């Protein structure tokens, strides 16, 4: 049974504030209308303010002298208001849905009905495709540097009154708005309050980007692995919000931050949920193998050519030795020289204009690589090893995770050059110890694998069929664990 609207406008307004958490983007304007008051309510993030000002507020300014009885106001406004689509609503469910969809609500005392006028903002205009997180199938829109637009893009995907927004102003000089978004009946409210308090305590003159916020509030500042997701995709933000996580939106930044985040989140792709699960599972296997390859390939090659000759067939060992004949540097120096060269080329490719990028790639990959082999500075097999390492290292789209893997790759190389295969095993143990010691705002970094949580394994390494994804992540969702109403 849908709850009917009260005849007292103030009671309806209080109910709206209660259901939306007194969200700062819900605007309520009180307008004198003859001997009554009209209440105009809209969500500024998803509503077109020009339409509201020119066609609704302007109308009330010009027509406020017309006398109406209380029970006739709604009917007369509907008849005379110069807009094309007006709905009459009488219950809170419909009111909240339309309000969060971009409609403007008109209330007055003495009526148990309200008007909902379509004033949707066209959030598709000026929205560009995501460049850093490209997918083959799925939504293409990306966040922008406009704070209101970013909030609107997320609200466009989640039209629920439970999506609450808290705002904090950070920066003594820049005075950036920082929005903390969460779903009130799913997220951990204690964690939300903790994050809000941490952000309020930030004392700095300017916040140019959302990552500055995380540098201030992160609990793992000295660890190379990130404990938050930085994304420009509103669909990914909405998916994580439905899992009980928290999104942080910063004014003038086109990247949203999602917390908490665990290791498995960085190995997933936003496009995983827009394809058949059996195909996605194959892709995920390739992705996990690529992570292992980019970490271990140079180290294993150095170990077997320096210390553990018995680990490979004799003919292959002879082939490696023949290719290294004439190379003046030890294997580790050769590997580090090639890795540093690749990192320089990658950074140069990111910094120079796009029109020169392809030319630089051709010169770096073909000319320099071939010239280095011909000059005897590096061996052909080392070029192959570093090329495989570089390509597989780019399979993860999150730059913070790429940088974290880079540091551990170097540690594996040093250990392999010093102790061979034994060194690789030792660093592997240290890596596992490091990962198990990390917590992202109270959530173990290796969950749901360690500690094992069977109920969350349906979307970890493999993804089950979508109809089976009925349960949220129990580590982040504290209420409404089941996504389907038919489940208990």
Tokens 């927004």, residue located? 165
- Give the distance between the most distant pair of CA atoms in the chain: 101
Integer angstrom CA distances of residue 296 from 268, 299, 387: 21, 5, 13
Say how far apart CA 389 and CA 370 lie, in whole Å: 18
Cα 302 from chain centre: 37
Which pLDDT score, from 0 to 100, does residue 363 have?
59
Q: What is the pLDDT of residues 14-72, one digit of tens each?
A: 999 999 988 888 999 988 877 778 899 999 888 888 888 888 888 777 765 566 666 66
Is-contact 208 215, C-beta < 8 A? no
Which pLDDT score, from 0 to 100, does residue 258 have?
95
Tokens 């009130």, residue located? 184
Residues 6 or more apart whose CB falls under 8 angstroms from that of 448 comprise 264, 454, 455, 456, 457, 460, 473, 475
The last residue of one of the domains, among 216, 236, 261, is 261
Q: Is residue 128 part of a domain?
A: no
The reply to whether 428 and 339 lie within a common domain is yes
Which pLDDT score, from 0 to 100, does residue 221 have?
80
| Highest mean pLDDT (candidates 130-134, 289-293, 472-476, 480-484) | 289-293
The reply to whether 357 and 439 lie within a common domain is yes
In the structure, what pLDDT confidence band is assigned to residue 415 with cuts at 50, 70 and 90?
Answer: very high
The reply to whether 369 and 425 lie within a common domain is yes
Q: What is the pLDDT of residues 339-374, one digit of tens each?
A: 888 888 777 777 776 655 555 665 566 667 777 777
Say how far apart CA 108 and CA 119 lie, in whole Å: 19
The reply to whether 240 and 281 lie within a common domain is no
Which pLDDT score, from 0 to 100, does residue 430 have?
95
Within 10 angstroms of residue 240's Cβ, the number of other Cβ atoms is: 22
* Three-class secondary structure assignment of 55-98: HHHHHHHHHCCCCCCHHHHHHHHHHHCCCCCEEEECEHHHHHHH
pTM of the model: 0.85
What average pLDDT score do residues 120-139 get?
A: 73
Q: Is residue 89 part of a domain?
A: yes
Q: Is residue 324 part of a domain?
A: yes
In terms of DSSP H, where are the helices of 158-269? 189-200, 210-217, 234-242, 263-266
Compute φ and ψ for 258, nearest 5 degrees: -115, 130
**For residue 104, what is the enclosing H or E element?**
strand 103-108
Compute φ and ψ for 276, nearest 5 degrees: -65, 140
Q: Mean pLDDT in the chain?
A: 84
What's the DSSP call for residue 444? E
* Positive/negative CA dihedral, 297, 300, 302, 305: negative
Which pLDDT score, from 0 to 100, does residue 124 have?
62
The reply to whether 329 and 418 lie within a common domain is yes
The reply to whether 236 and 293 lie within a common domain is no
The last residue of one of the domains, among 118, 137, 172, is 118
The two counts, helices (H) then strands (E), for the chain are 18, 12
Q: Is residue 321 part of a domain?
A: yes
Q: Is residue 102 part of a domain?
A: yes
Is-contact 303 427, C-beta < 8 A? no
Is-contact 480 472, C-beta < 8 A? yes
**For residue 256, what is the enclosing H or E element?**
strand 256-259
In the structure, what pLDDT confidence band is assigned to residue 488 with cuts at 50, 70 and 90?
Answer: very low
Checking if the pLDDT of 451 tops 90, the result is no
**For residue 17, what is the enclosing H or E element?**
helix 9-19
Q: Is residue 476 part of a domain?
A: no
What average pLDDT score do residues 441-468 get?
A: 77
The reply to whether 374 and 422 lie within a common domain is yes
Count of alpha carbons within 13 angstroms of residue 324, beta-carbon side:
19
The reply to whether 244 and 351 lie within a common domain is no
Q: What is the pLDDT of residues 217-266, one digit of tens each?
A: 988 888 889 989 999 999 999 999 999 999 999 998 889 999 999 998 88
What average pLDDT score do residues 443-462 get?
A: 81
The last residue of one of the domains, among 118, 138, 170, is 118
Please, what is the angle between helix 277-306 and helix 380-393, to 10°?
150
326: containing domain: 274-444
Task: Tell me the two tokens of residue 337.
Answer: 């020289």
The reply to whether 57 and 184 lie within a common domain is no
Compute φ and ψ for 327, nearest 5 degrees: -75, 120
Which pLDDT score, from 0 to 100, does residue 67 have?
61
Please, what is the angle between helix 399-419 and helix 421-437, to 10°?
140
Say how far apart CA 288 and CA 88 lie, in whole Å: 54
Which pLDDT score, from 0 to 100, does residue 409 have?
93
Task: Tell me the two tokens of residue 138.
Answer: 């799925």
For residue 248, the SS3 value is strand
The reply to whether 225 and 302 lie within a common domain is no
Residues in the chain: 488
Q: What is the pLDDT of residues 295-342, one digit of tens each?
A: 999 999 999 888 888 878 888 878 877 777 777 888 888 888 888 888
The reply to whether 421 and 328 lie within a common domain is yes
Which pLDDT score, from 0 to 100, does residue 292 have?
93
Say how far apart CA 57 and CA 48 lie, in whole Å: 13
Tokens 């009980």, residue located? 244
Q: Is residue 318 part of a domain?
A: yes
The reply to whether 318 and 421 lie within a common domain is yes
* Positive/negative CA dihedral, 340, 344, 345, 346: positive
Q: In this predicted model, which residue has the larger pLDDT, 181 or 464?
A: 181
Say how far apart CA 295 and CA 175 lie, in whole Å: 42
Structural domain count, the chain: 3
Q: Is residue 452 part of a domain?
A: no
């Amino acid at each position: 049974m849908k709850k009917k609207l009260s005849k007292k406008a103030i009671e309806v307004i209080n109910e709206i504030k209660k259901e939306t958490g007194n969200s700062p983007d819900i605007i309520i304007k009180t307008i004198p209308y003859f001997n009554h008051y009209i209440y105009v309510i809209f969500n500024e993030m998803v509503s077109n303010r020009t339409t509201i000002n020119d066609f609704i507020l302007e109308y009330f300014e010009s027509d406020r002298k017309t006398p109406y009885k209380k029970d006739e106001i709604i009917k007369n406004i509907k008849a005379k208001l110069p807009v094309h689509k007006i709905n009459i609503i009488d219950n809170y469910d419909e009111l909240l849905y339309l309000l969060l969809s971009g409609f403007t609500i008109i209330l007055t005392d003495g009526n148990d009905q309200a008007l909902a006028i379509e004033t949707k903002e066209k959030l598709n205009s000026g929205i560009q495709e995501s460049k850093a997180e490209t997918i083959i199938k799925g939504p293409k829109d990306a966040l922008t540097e406009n704070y209101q637009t970013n909030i609107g893009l997320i609200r466009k995907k989640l039209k629920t009154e439970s999506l609450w927004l808290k705002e904090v102003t950070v920066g003594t000089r820049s005075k950036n708005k920082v929005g903390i978004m969460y779903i009130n009946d799913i997220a951990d409210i204690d964690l939300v309050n903790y994050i809000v308090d941490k952000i309020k305590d930030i004392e700095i003159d300017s916040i140019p980007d959302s990552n500055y916020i995380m540098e201030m509030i992160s609990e793992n500042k000295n660890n190379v692995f990130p404990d938050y997701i930085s994304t420009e995709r509103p669909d990914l933000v909405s998916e994580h919000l439905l899992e009980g996580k928290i999104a942080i939106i910063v004014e003038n930044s086109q990247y949203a931050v999602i917390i908490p985040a665990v290791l498995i989140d960085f190995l997933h792709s936003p496009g995983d949920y827009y394809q058949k699960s059996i195909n996605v599972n194959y892709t995920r296997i390739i992705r996990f193998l690529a992570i292992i390859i980019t970490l271990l390939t140079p180290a294993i090659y150095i170990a077997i050519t320096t210390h553990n000759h018995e680990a490979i067939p004799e003919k292959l060992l002879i082939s490696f030795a023949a290719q290294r004949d004439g190379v003046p540097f030890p294997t580790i120096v050769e590997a580090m020289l090639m890795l540093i060269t690749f990192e320089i080329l990658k950074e140069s490719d990111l910094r120079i204009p796009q029109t020169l990028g392809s030319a630089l790639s051709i010169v770096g990959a073909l000319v320099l690589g071939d010239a280095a082999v011909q000059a005897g500075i590096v061996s052909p097999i080392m070029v192959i090893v570093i090329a495989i390492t570089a390509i597989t290292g780019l399979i993860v789209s999150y730059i913070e995770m790429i940088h974290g893997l880079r540091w551990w790759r170097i540690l594996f190389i040093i250990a392999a050059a010093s102790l061979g295969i034994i060194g690789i095993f030792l660093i592997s143990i240290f890596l596992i110890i490091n990962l198990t010691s990390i917590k992202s705002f109270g959530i173990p970094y290796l969950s749901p694998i360690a500690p094992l949580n069977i109920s969350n394994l349906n979307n970890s390494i493999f993804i089950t069929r979508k109809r089976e994804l009925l349960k949220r992540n129990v580590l982040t969702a504290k209420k409404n664990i089941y996504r389907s109403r038919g489940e208990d």
